[in-house]
Structure 1
């Protein structure tokens, strides 16, 4: 990698430090950090903060702590909110100072995560995974479920080039899929599919469906190129899923988006952020085609 990759690598430094990246992504970040002093310094900052937080003392909780809180609550008839109760306790309780110190430490770590990690994405990767990484879905996925999901996707990828209809039916059956139009998708997932605004020249929309996948409920659009070959677009809420097991991954800038590229042997998969959601394109021929799709969909 060259230093031009810094803007692509930096959002992943916190997750790399916490051991949350897939093997391919971790190897890419490690290789870049070895030759980039700026990114190595940022990674070192995460390590120092993690060490400082681990050594910070946690005040002991008195056995009658909650009884004291109850006694200190105002007896007024007005509604008492949790924030009001907490503020009274912090102001008057002898234990408040310790709690404030600990809260300040947490806020400091969150702030650094936002600075280095890039907004909400950084916060989700801060302080050893204090917030659940979004690619685990709203309810999270166990390691066993993720491994099973990656296995289903591997079967899908093997079937897709030679039998795209069979591959689609397999996912529809496995994940309670329902073929829909744009309005049907809005009813099921709350948003209009990005492909409803059209596709670039040389592509046509064959079908749209909603799948209840383990990571999230997503929209799947089957697209056909003018030569009859198939390209599939998944629109989903999780940022970048470990859908593809241990396949080789890399990061690149496609159009104006940072993309995670996965080697699928005869083709590639690409994932990028599109507004508040993510798009994963499966069966893409090369990085140039990814850039074409990114640019088109970004203008839709």
Structure 2
């Protein structure tokens, strides 16, 4: 997994440890931690801190606590208020010392959390990497959207081989999808879909739609092979490879393009540059099929 993927996951380790993430996000973090020693070690540190805190003894309150406070308070000429009595007791009572120790432990834990979530990101930036949560308002996806999108895409990939119609509807619903023809796509995204020039022999266009995805507003083309199986082409403006979480990736030359190939278990995904945009093909059988698509679309 790339460094950026680690930086995407790290801000969510604490929430993952506390069980506060949605199912898709939690699955993405869990899968990454399984194969990343660095993030696994950081998650382990959260567990260690939580365990130490849980084992910290809290002094029991004596039944005669307030009577002891009264006896230990020095006599004073000025009126002694409850707040002043309490401050004196904190300084001089052994029970007060225990309470101060406990409060200091809590503040230390809170301070560590604030430093780790804030300053650590700055340290990472200084070291040469740009933390993904600093991308809000810039091109590409924010850390929140990236993690959520990886979870949505994981659900989509599981549905696609066996129920492509359900997978299609899920994305249309999630990202305000609108089915369009070539002219309709031009009105929404400003360019004609690359598939409007036709597909290689053995493929037919089933539908074209425009989706408002976290990365950008993109065109999705559902294609059918002669055997009825489904291949999906996404045409988008960004070059993100984080759509597929921490699945295994590799680079290869397909046709005359450098392609990022992602292992999808029973198939692969491939992303390559096509002019000023990028194309991501999902449900591709092998690298040979990627080369066939790249070559055809480059000429269309």
TM-score band, normalised by shorter chain:
0.5 to 0.7
Contact 1:250 1:261 in 2 (8 A): yes
Q: Distance in 1 between matches of 2:68 and 2:174?
A: 54
Give the 3 Å change call, closer, same or farther, for CA 173–132 of structure 1 in structure 2. same
TM value normalised by structure 1: 0.56
Q: Matched residues in 2 for 1:190 and 1:65: separation?
A: 75
Q: CA deviation at 1:145?
A: 1.9
Structure 1 residues 102-111 or 173-182, which shifts more? 102-111
Cα 1:164–1:50 change in 2 (3 A) is closer
The alpha-carbon deviation at position 146 of structure 1 amounts to: 1.0
Q: Does structure 1 conserve the Cα–Cα contact (< 8 Å) formed by 2:8 and 2:133?
A: no
Calculate the aligned-residue CA RMSD, in Å.
13.1
Do 1:234 and 1:281's aligned partners in 2 also have CA atoms closer than 8 Å?
yes
Q: Classify 1:77/1:102 alpha carbon distance in 2 versus 1 (closer, same or farther; 3 Å).
A: same
SS in 1 for 2:78: coil
> Tell me, which stretches of 5 or more residues in structure 1 are unaligned?
none
Query: Does the residue aligned with 1:205 lie in a helix, a strand or coil?
Result: strand
Say if 1:232 and 1:283, in contact at 8 Å, map to a contact too.
yes
Gaps of 5+ in 2: none
Structure-2 separation of matches of 1:220 and 1:173: 14
Taking the aligned partners of 1:197 and 1:74, their CA distance within structure 2 comes to 92
Contact 2:205 2:221 in 1 (8 A): yes
Moved more, 148-157 or 72-81: 72-81
Q: 1:167 to 1:116 in 2, by over 3 A?
A: same
Q: Is the 8 A contact 1:117 1:123 kept in 2?
A: no
CA contact (8 A) 1:135 1:215 kept: no
Moved over 3 A (4+): 1-140
- Say how many residue pairs are matched: 300
Q: 1:299 & 1:89 partners in 2: Cα distance?
A: 84
Deviations 1:199-234 (A, max 9, x none): 000000000000000011000000000000000000
